[in-house]
Chains A and B, each alone.
Chain A
Amino acid sequence: AQKITQTQPGMFVQEKEAVTLDCTYDTSDPSYGLFWYKQPSSGEMIFLIYQGSYDQQNATEGRYSLNFQKARKSANLVISASQLGDSAMYFCAMRGDTDKLIFGTGTRLQVFP
């Protein structure tokens, strides 16, 4: 069975600092995709970044990067130069051989001035 674990229910970071949100996963599928979504207080789910299990390089999208350590089964999201608008809930998710996206429980990030 597939499982995503996010162990940080809440994180605080000062504006302009970097922050790492942890995600570990468990799957027996040979190939899988890992995704991060942002959910602001308005409720929508915004796609941030994707990492494929066979990708050699860590994914980057602007201020977001994914620290992918396959042997450890971790896919941590790094946000550089945090902004007040980054305050939101962040979800790690995985798609494997089954079609559905499995989500972690999320991490609430608060950025303070």
Chain B
Amino acid sequence: EPEVTQTPSHQVTQMGQEVILRCVPISNHLYFYWYRQILGQKVEFLVSFYNNEISEKSEIFDDQFSVERPDGSNFTLKIRSTKLEDSAMYFCASSEAAGVTYGYTFGSGTRLTVV
């Protein structure tokens, strides 16, 4: 079964450093997302991406965050200057299409720890 692949599975970084989280969505999917889950809390929407541009972003997704699809397969989330409160599990997801009947396929997540 096709899957969404995320790397790395764990990342530890120092406060103020830049991190790039990588994702390979399912090949025929057109919509891409990043979500985050602070430990023990709910899953929060960060950003959606379609046709090489951001289609929606949340209040969390401030200027420190950016997304990119540098080639035909990768989808990345960059945090420019990490803060302690960025420590969370970050999930990439993809969807074949927009519309209420289409679910997301999630990757296994990247656990980011900022020290």
Interface of A with B (CB < 8 Å)?
29, 31-33, 35, 37, 42-47, 50, 52-53, 91, 93, 95-106
Contact = CB atoms under 8 A, between A and B. Distances in A.
A54 B55 CA distance: 26
A95 B102 CA distance: 9
Interface residues of B, number: 27
B18 interface: no
B32 to A, nearest CB: 11
Contacts of B75: none
Nearest to A104: B42
Contact of B56 (A45, A98, A106): A98
Interface majority SS on B: helix, strand, loop or mixed?
A: strand
Interface string B74-115: 000000000000000101010000101111111111010000
B15 interface: no
A33 B109 contact: no
B103 A95 contact: yes
Given A44-B107, A93-B43, A105-B42, 12 more contacts: A35-B103, A42-B108, A45-B43, A45-B106, A47-B105, A52-B101, A97-B100, A98-B56, A99-B31, A99-B48, A99-B55, A100-B48
A25 B10 CA distance: 33
A36 to B, nearest CB: 10
A45 B91 contact: yes
24 contacts: A29-B100, A31-B100, A32-B100, A33-B103, A35-B103, A42-B108, A43-B111, A44-B107, A44-B108, A44-B109, A45-B43, A45-B109, A46-B106, A47-B104, A53-B100, A95-B102, A97-B100, A99-B48, A100-B33, A100-B45, A100-B56, A103-B43, A103-B44, A105-B42
B89 A95 contact: no
Interface string B19-54: 000000000000101010000011111001010000
A70 to B, nearest CB: 14
